[in-house]
Chains A and B, each alone.
Chain A
């Protein structure tokens, strides 16, 4: 299990679910907020990954 993207997704799913449940009361809103947050996690990671690509380790 060494795929960074897979590990990010495994991290983002429960964290998004917890934050959504904390922030919203209605289940429908929780699902929407959780999905948005999950998408934000993945999108931010992919964008940042591309941005730091030119830099040497």
Chain B
């Protein structure tokens, strides 16, 4: 009979620096991938679905994927936040999505969705890191 797994029963991942870097890169590239890697598939599914949904909604709401313009500190910070989502952000930039329509009523909403999705993924990466090193 299957029993509920506990933190103690789960296989401890390797905590070598190289493995941790790879884990964080995977978690950055695909939201939830770090948790999948660590055997926490349920959380991984939640992160993948929720963050992808936020990102897509942000684009649908005509938000902007900000460029790294260091002469405009707030724009650069927004770009850093956008970049937190990894591959969806890369693909969006490559396809020319996220141009942003300033005159659209939902423009600021879209920006908020896009920025928050990236920032939340940074939290998810930190959570995966904490699990990997045994802090959680």
Interface residues of A (CB under 8 A from B): 1-2, 7, 10-11, 13-15, 17-18, 21-22, 25, 27, 30
Contacts and interface: CB of A to CB of B under 8 A. Distances in A.
Contacts of B46: 17-18, 21, 30
Interface of B: 7, 42-43, 46-47, 49-51, 53-54, 57, 60-61, 105-106, 109, 112-113, 116, 120, 123-124, 127
Contact of A22 (B105, B106, B124): B124
Smallest CB-CB A-B distances: 3 pairs: A14-B50, A21-B46, A17-B50
Given A10-B57, A11-B112, A18 B124 contact: yes
**SS of A interface (majority):** helix
A15 B116 contact: yes
Contacts of B53: 14
A27 B54 CA distance: 21
A26 to B, nearest CB: 9
